[in-house]
Amino acid sequence: MNSKKPKVLVAMSGGVDSSVAAALLLEQGYEVIGCFMRLGSPGEAIDAPVLDAACDAGAKPLRIGKQGCCSINDAADARQVAASLGIPLYVCNFKKDFGRIIDYFVDEYAQGRTPNPCVRCNDWLKFGKLHDYAKQLGASFVASGHYARVELIDGRPRLLRGVDEDRDQSYVLFGVPPEHLETMLLPVGGIRKPHLRQMARERGLIVSDKPDSQEICFVPDNDYAGLVERTGRGSGAGRIVDPTGKVVGEHAGQHHFTIGQRRGLELALGYRIYVTGRDAATNTVSVGPREMLLRSGCVAGEANWLAKPLGTEWTPCMAQYRYNSDAVPARVRGLEDSPGPTTSGRCGRFEVLFDEPQEAVAPGQAVVLYEIVAPDVVIGGGWIESAQPAMA
């Protein structure tokens, strides 16, 4: 009788979530191999084409900070947890691959869009490159500490929200290739955070009370605009215009702003104003009252479908267009002019219409779709290309 244990590669970030995930899989009888993704060491220059070009032009190199989800302290914590569990820990050098994410981040801001590097990191690295590395090690599964679930529905693996609504991360996992769901393990998706920390204490894990990472690891000071400027992609001074097109002020570059922003505008127009638009071509920032943020729907591309094929007929769904927003009732349909194939060989572009207008639907962000009758179940999603104003 073959008693060989199934082998699983666990992405261990040095945090409590992935540490408990590794411990649970070990207890469930898996042969667990830990993997820490090395994106760079504190003080080390980041390798990315857009940054290299900036350095050639005389800019100072961007360096990895001490915070985020990939610091040297995190690596040390991952090693100690792996040692306490008695499992091996490999370090994957993804420094060059990580440069692609930074290039994407800078380019999106420079083009007037709002990027989401954490989603791209999951797509390209954690459930992209890591699956390839797992195969090299002979591992049948890849696991992480994300708060989401994979369950069989009608005989097929589907991605679901985590049971802890405040921690749910299904939104950032929508881009996982559908063929990877069969080999994807998310052990903590059915656990609430306070209970998970207690589980870590019971198992003697040193990271049981470690704070969660709150910032992007390559922008440790949260100065997104400064990063764009250091690459030479900053847009310089430009105009701020009101809803009539009248110039009401100046700004230091459209990359300093995000759709829906209210603070830091330093303008007095007699009513509360918000950033309602950014035009990279003209380096113009538009401002207006809150109602001008309302959008009736959006068009998205780079679709990834985790459910049945999407046709051109309207289908009811729940749509979430920001990580920290709630899903709202909507309709979705594939577009006939959609280029393809996508990762799942279906409509590459789609249109979403919200049942009620929504605020600050920003191009560059992801819109993720959920079942209407089973709102925990992910249908798929894509990247917002444009949003339709609700006001004429």
Catalytic machinery residues: 121, 217
Decide the pairing of beta strands 89-93 and 31-38: parallel
Tokens of 16: 């409590």
Distances (CA, A) of 358 to 114, 242, 296, 328, 330: 17, 21, 7, 9, 11
> Of 306, 297, 385, whose CA–CA distance to 338 is shortest?
385
> Of 142, 136, 143, 97, whose CA–CA distance to 120 is shortest?
97
Residue 243 identity = P
How many helices, marked H, and strands, marked E, lie in the chain? 8, 17
State the maximum Cα–Cα separation within the chain, in Å, rounded to a whole number.
79
In sequence order, which residues have a C-beta less than 8 Å from that of residue 325 and are 6 or more positions away?
none
Q: Which helix (H) or strand (E) holds 201?
A: helix 193-202
Look-up of token digits 């529905």: 153
Q: Is 379:353 a contact under the CB 8 Å cutoff?
A: no
Q: Does the N-terminal peptide bond of residue 341 adopt cis geometry, omega within 30 degrees of 0?
A: yes
Tokens of 137: 């090690």
Helices 95-110 and 49-56 pack at an angle, to 10 degrees, of 80
